[in-house]
Amino acid sequence: MEKIIKGDQLEKIKHFLQQQYYDSAVKECCAILEEILKKIYKQALSELPIEDRTVLLESEAKIGSGNKSYTRFGFGELVGLFNRSRLLDRWAKYTDSNMGIIRSISLDYIVELRNHLTHDSASMKAEVKKEEAQLVYDCLLNWLSFIGYRDMSKGVESAFVPGGKPEAAAGSPASSYERVKKSITSGYDSSIKPERRRLKKQAAYSEAHDAASFAYALERIGRREGLIGLDVGCADGFVTELRFLPEYGFTKVVGVDFNQALMEKVGAEDRGIFRYRYLDVEARSFDDDMEELMEEEGIPGFDLMFCALTLHHLKNPSRLLMRLRRYLNKGGALIIRGVDDGGMMAYDDGGLVERILDDCTRQSNVSDRYHGRKFFPWLRSIGFSDIRMNYQVDDTTGMTAEERMDFFHYYFDFRLQYTLRPLNKEPDNPIYQEDHRRMENNLDQLEEMFLRPDFFFSTLTVSCIAIK
């Protein structure tokens, strides 16, 4: 069945019950329960402690002769997986919650009832009793309420909340699609908590890489007191303040970002040598705005400019680089950092990574994930001649299971937004539905691969340091 639950499914079930189509009501309820269990299991694989996740995977391998993943399990197999792994007990311990009525509900009877309907031709002659159908429907409502399900037109959202408390009961007016979108990605809005967390992880992964770029740049421009820095696309300043250290000789650093509300917030705080200003780097008024900023801050020119993971979001990155060069002091350094998905490698994935990347590329809302290879040509074309490339390769070798999962989430979670955005705008579009379903399934499979200790994946971070 489709991952997205249709808006009229609950109404359809109610209609079946009213018309005494009890067998149809049971089948429809079980179809939704099946999807809920898959979502819960997927979340458990990413959030439970590693020892619990290991038990889940071992239990999964023993279901269905071990020849298929949970994504292909039927309702009965999923219930068997939950029972064998004691998943709910493990989650109750992890969240320090008794999980209320959910742990007391046995799904075994419902499995048996559904199996009779779908597999036992003799029993098809006898309708399901009203009491049986009502029990199954009540069970479904309890599960929906427990997982905080909000909108039947959108889809099952996150299964559990830390502490075991559902965020909302069924029927809340807020859109679950909007919640799902924000839980997966922020759309690069650093004012949203998930995005700030992602940026912090991003900063950790790139710390050594950026340190090497800064070391080379500072060696070339000369470490001295009174250096002035510029961070283009600074978000909330977290990375800015990690990279532009006062001990390097910086006495003033300006961070600029297009998120005006965020800049007003962080700009109002006392951040020492750091100043934060709103600046739209793609606006026609960029030069006027930059000159006004420099005049107000008393800056004649910048000694070091830093632009990380920003250029690939722009319509004309080379134009921005040309503009920035005007305000870079003679002998100053410009550091740009980005990614290049072409540098990704995986082994024994059956081409899964390549298919995910291809699906990303086909989406109209995707930023340029292959821009790292363009850094040198961009900088050379606008007048830089003293250019140095800096590369960092990260791979899964030597990583613990938890590190591999963090690695996966960092490089792949945000990709679901590429199919979610158009689907959010047109939820009934069958093309968007299929694109999103395929992306979800592919990411599910890749996530499971990352749990294997023998799975190999590597990726490339690219920086370019240019001296004016």
Q: 17 or 167: which carries more pLDDT confidence?
A: 17
Dihedral sign for Cα atoms in the order 320, 322, 325, 331:
positive
Q: 131 or 317: which carries more pLDDT confidence?
A: 317
Q: Of the given ranges (45-49, 124-128, 206-210, 284-288), which has the lowest mean pLDDT?
A: 124-128
Task: Compute CA distances 69 → 65, 128, 182, 436, 447, whole Å.
Answer: 10, 31, 28, 19, 12
Structure tokens at 73: 């399990």
Q: Are 370 and 360 in contact (CB under 8 A)?
A: no
Rounded (5°) CA angle 349-351-352: 70
pLDDT single digits (tens) 241-295: 999 999 999 999 999 999 998 999 999 999 999 999 999 999 999 999 999 999 9
Q: Of the given ranges (12-16, 79-83, 412-416), which has the lowest mean pLDDT?
A: 12-16
Q: What is the β-pairing status of strands 250-257 and 227-232?
A: parallel
Q: Of the given ranges (74-88, 125-139, 263-277, 406-420), which has the lowest mean pLDDT?
A: 125-139
Compute the average pLDDT of residues 67-91.
85
Which helix (H) or strand (E) is 310 found in, with range?
Answer: none
427 phi/psi in degrees, rounded to 5: -65, -20
Q: How far apart are CA 392 and CA 460, in angstroms?
A: 6
Compute the average pLDDT of residues 69-77.
86
pLDDT single digits (tens) 314-353: 999 999 999 999 999 999 999 999 989 999 999 999 999 9
| Cβ neighbour number for residue 354 with a 10 Å cutoff | 13
| Cβ neighbour number for residue 311 with a 10 Å cutoff | 25
Dihedral sign for Cα atoms in the order 288, 327, 211, 463:
positive
Average pLDDT in the chain: 83
Which residue matches tokens 């070798």? Answer: 397
Q: Is the pTM of this model over 0.85?
A: no
Domain 193-467 has CATH 3.40.50.300: no
b/e for 265-293, b at 16 or more Cβ within 10 A?
ebbeeeeeebbbbbbebeeeebeebbeeb
pLDDT given for residue 253 in this prediction = 98
Task: For residue 354, give every residue at least 6 positions away whose Cβ sits within 8 Å of its Cβ, in sequence order, or none.
Answer: none
pLDDT single digits (tens) 3-59: 334 557 778 888 888 888 888 888 888 888 888 888 888 888 878 888 888 888 888
Which helix (H) or strand (E) is 157 found in, with range?
Answer: none
CATH 3.40.50.150: which residues of the chain? 193-467
Which residue matches tokens 């439970």? Answer: 48
pLDDT given for residue 391 in this prediction = 95
For 88, counting Cβ atoms within 10 Å of its Cβ (0-12 exposed, 13-18 middle, 19+ buried), the class is middle
pLDDT given for residue 179 in this prediction = 31
